Chain A
Amino acid sequence: MAGNTPRRVRESHRKSQRGAEETPLVKWLLVGTAGLFLLVFLLLPLVNVFAQALGKGLGAYFKALEHPDTLSSIRLTLLTAAICVPLNVVFGVCAAWAVAKFEFRGKALLITLIDLPFSVSPVVAGLVYVVVFGLQGYLGPWLADRDLQVIFAVPGIVLATLFVTFPFVARELIPVMQATGTDQEQAAMTLGASGWQTFWRVTLPSVKWGLLYGVILCNARAMGEFGAVSVVSGHITGLTDTMPLRVEKLYISYDSTGAFAVASLLALLALVTLVAKTWLEWRQERQFEAAQHVETSTSRDEGTGPT
């Protein structure tokens, strides 16, 4: 559980490192290989994105970003994420709660369904919506009669993004909630807390790392989704182009500075979320350490009651 690594987990990692009796050669070989892969396949391309974007100077960079169509694509992407992430948080919490805390028929089916977007190609997801909501689709004529456009418009993009980002929050939360069990909630209830109070004060805080990580992943995917959105968007410049679509369009029209400028924004987003997450974890750890420090300075004997 990457989102859920408080102090204890880290400490156990440290201990297991001590146990590994490999020769320095093997150790450096392994570390070197991993490092090389990261360097070649992750870090270099990432640096390259920024290098290309800023290659013609800061002026050209900002000019590329100020293009009205680019600005419109940024707005659309932010809007899509702003709709999809909260909806998926609500859905993810509900689904994880249902799976982790109750026994019911069809539970396995629900879990499988949650995973569906992971196993289906995003293009298929997009096509599904076209079949349902498109003019030739089942609901298309009905919608057209009422002047509601879903496909080749913002609602379609939001729906496709929702489909693709469906599993992220739920998938992160289910194992955390299962591990937490229902004891703490029951304890809160015996202390007089209502269901709502229990949720806000006990359940949510105990899964906050899983939730945060789920939100980060969900947000990254919502902003970065290409395939599904590409099918339903219609690529109307200035209207239904999201940032990834805009990057592609700029790139094929030989505007590499523009393409990389928008791409750099997407990359920056990823970096910012990762830094934010690391910072939050670091703060949490500091909090634990502070408490630990109090303990060692006034350490008490085990098992002694009040006297």
Chain B
Amino acid sequence: MSIQLKSISKSFGDTVAVERVEFTVAEGELVALLGPSGGGKTTVLRMIAGLEMPTSGDILIRGQRVNDLPVQRRNIGFVFQNYALFKTMSVADNIAFGLKIKKWKRSEIASRVAELVELFGLQGLERRYPHQLSGGQRQRVAIARSLAPKPSVLLLDEPFGAVDAKIRQDLREWLVRLHHELNVTTVFVTHDQEEAMEVANRIVIFSKGRLEQIGSPREVYEQPANEFVARFIGVMNVLDCVVKNGQARAGELAFPVSGAANGTQMRIGFRPYAVAVSTDLTLHPHRARLLHTYFLGILLRVEFELPSGLVVRGRMTKEEYGMLGLEDGREVSLHIKNYRVLARDDAPLGSEMAAPVATPPHIAENI
């Protein structure tokens, strides 16, 4: 076990930034701290680093309690959001800084710097100054600098925040490869759920200073612990429903639920991929009009409006879209295949339910 947080809380004056957070990070893991801004994730990262002190609780790094250990002696590597490179030092001096502080031998410093320059593809830039580098290069220097003294843990604060979208994608893939090669325990903070899903082995989800769920990307997507996680990870349609005769109803849509009295309020959620669409208006129970199509590349996002004004978001591939011959304004029929009850934020959720398929018995009805 590389990092262990035991009931960590942190208050700034009267504001509680982090409340009773507990999780562990295994040796060699790549973990994302994910949440909306102001969720406390950066504070947690800074507490692991020793840049902030927890108000209560214990932090252990490799089994050693580090609460009273100053940042200098925690043997961590920290990459700041804006990289915080030393402006007055060249790339090589930036990378060598931690080694000089730790009084490595001159020859050892030189070989370690050369090794990192090679590993990070910074050849030829050793003598440049930070302001002469591009965003991506700066980030690589920042990571190289933090890894130079061989830290036991690498901590990154919004590592991809400050570069543009294209480079961001490259950097994500690169970070995964780097982690694979070096296998150093890595924790990074992000507010971008896609980024967390793509890069991390495990995701720790925060909201308002509380830990909402920990799990693999697949777990948090498929078995969200609560409504917050379900809505935060991936796209979800959320409907406020009222139960009537064993069905949660919103507009024309009705979802069978068991054991709920008439008049119970509940929220129902379903993923866009759970929306089945057909241009055969009799195939699915609900009629709807295609409101708008968003082209995202291979996937398309489609918005349907039901006669009551309810809007449902779906997702389909370009091929499906073409095969159905859809276009904006087209009348379709649709059906929600899977849904889940997002009853209350704090109550655990049931697993996803499959809607009973209303077999169309009316084969020759409209002739």
CB distance from B108 to the nearest CB of A (A): 15
CB distance from B190 to the nearest CB of A (A): 18
Choice from B72, B87, B134 contacting A192 with Cβ under 8 Å: B72
State A300–B117 Cα separation when bound (angstroms). 13
Per-position contact with B for A280-292: 1 when CB-CB < 8 Å, else 0? 0000000010111
Residue of A nearest to B127 (CB): A291
Q: Are A183 and B80 in contact (CB under 8 A)?
A: yes
Q: Which of A108-116, A126-134, A200-208 contacts B (4 or more CB under 8 A)?
A: A200-208
- Hey, which chain A residues are within 8 Å of B88, CB to CB? 202, 205-206, 208
Q: Are A193 and B87 in contact (CB under 8 A)?
A: no
CB distance from B91 to the nearest CB of A (A): 9
Choice from B102, B132, B140 contacting A288 with Cβ under 8 Å: B132
CB distance from A43 to the nearest CB of B (A): 35
The reply to whether the CB of A8 lies closer than 8 angstroms to some CB of chain B is yes
User: With A190-B78, A191-B98, A206-B87 in contact, do A302 and B136 touch (Cβ < 8 Å)?
Assistant: yes
State A177–B13 Cα separation when bound (angstroms). 27
CB distance from A224 to the nearest CB of B (A): 31
User: With A190-B71, A191-B97, A197-B101 in contact, do A303 and B146 touch (Cβ < 8 Å)?
Assistant: no
- Hey, which chain B residues are within 8 Å of A194, CB to CB? 72
- Hey, which chain A residues are within 8 Å of B174, CB to CB? 305-306
Chain A 143-194 interface residues, beta-carbon cutoff 8 Å to B: 180, 183-184, 186-194
CB distance from A130 to the nearest CB of B (A): 45
State A140–B162 Cα separation when bound (angstroms). 62
State A63–B163 Cα separation when bound (angstroms). 67
Give the one of A192, A202, A206 with max B CB within 10 A.
A192
Give the one of B72, B146, B171 with max A CB within 10 A.
B72
Q: Chain A contact residues (Cβ within 8 angstroms of B): what range?
A: 35 or more
- Hey, which chain A residues are within 8 Å of B121, CB to CB? 300, 304-307
The reply to whether the CB of A294 lies closer than 8 angstroms to some CB of chain B is yes
User: With A184-B87, A187-B86, A191-B98 in contact, do A303 and B136 touch (Cβ < 8 Å)?
Assistant: yes
The reply to whether the CB of B145 lies closer than 8 angstroms to some CB of chain A is yes
State A295–B128 Cα separation when bound (angstroms). 7
The reply to whether the CB of B223 lies closer than 8 angstroms to some CB of chain A is no
Q: Are A192 and B80 in contact (CB under 8 A)?
A: no
Q: Are A305 and B124 in contact (CB under 8 A)?
A: no
Q: Are A192 and B136 in contact (CB under 8 A)?
A: no
Residues of B in contact (CB 8 Å), total 51
Choice from A180, A291, A305 contacting B177 with Cβ under 8 Å: A305
Chain B 72-99 interface residues, beta-carbon cutoff 8 Å to A: 72-73, 76-78, 80, 82, 84-90, 97-98
Residue of B nearest to A187 (CB): B84
Choice from B97, B140, B163 contacting A305 with Cβ under 8 Å: B140
State A304–B97 Cα separation when bound (angstroms). 24
CB distance from A6 to the nearest CB of B (A): 8
Q: Are B82 and A291 in contact (CB under 8 A)?
A: no
Residue of A nearest to B121 (CB): A306
The reply to whether the CB of B310 lies closer than 8 angstroms to some CB of chain A is no
- Hey, which chain B residues are within 8 Å of A305, CB to CB? 120-121, 140, 170-171, 173-174, 177-178
The reply to whether the CB of B283 lies closer than 8 angstroms to some CB of chain A is no
Chain B 91-137 interface residues, beta-carbon cutoff 8 Å to A: 97-98, 101-102, 118-121, 123-129, 131-132, 134, 136-137
Q: Are B102 and A8 in contact (CB under 8 A)?
A: no
30 sampled A-B residue pairs with Cβ under 8 A: A6-B131, A8-B131, A184-B87, A187-B78, A188-B97, A188-B101, A189-B51, A189-B71, A189-B72, A190-B72, A191-B97, A191-B98, A192-B72, A192-B102, A193-B101, A208-B88, A290-B127, A292-B128, A294-B126, A294-B127, A294-B128, A295-B128, A298-B123, A298-B124, A303-B163, A304-B121, A305-B121, A305-B173, A305-B177, A306-B174
Chain A residues close to B by CB (< 8 Å):
6, 8, 180, 183-184, 186-194, 197, 201-202, 205-206, 208, 288, 290-292, 294-295, 297-300, 302-307
Chain B residues close to A by CB (< 8 Å):
49-51, 71-73, 76-78, 80, 82, 84-90, 97-98, 101-102, 118-121, 123-129, 131-132, 134, 136-137, 140, 145-146, 149, 163, 166-167, 170-171, 173-174, 177-178
Task: Add 7 more A-B contacts to A303-B163, A303-B166 (CB < 8 A).
Answer: A188-B97, A190-B50, A295-B124, A300-B124, A305-B140, A306-B174, A306-B178
Q: Which 6 A/B pairs are nearest by Cβ-Cβ distance?
A: A298-B124, A305-B174, A191-B98, A183-B84, A190-B78, A205-B88
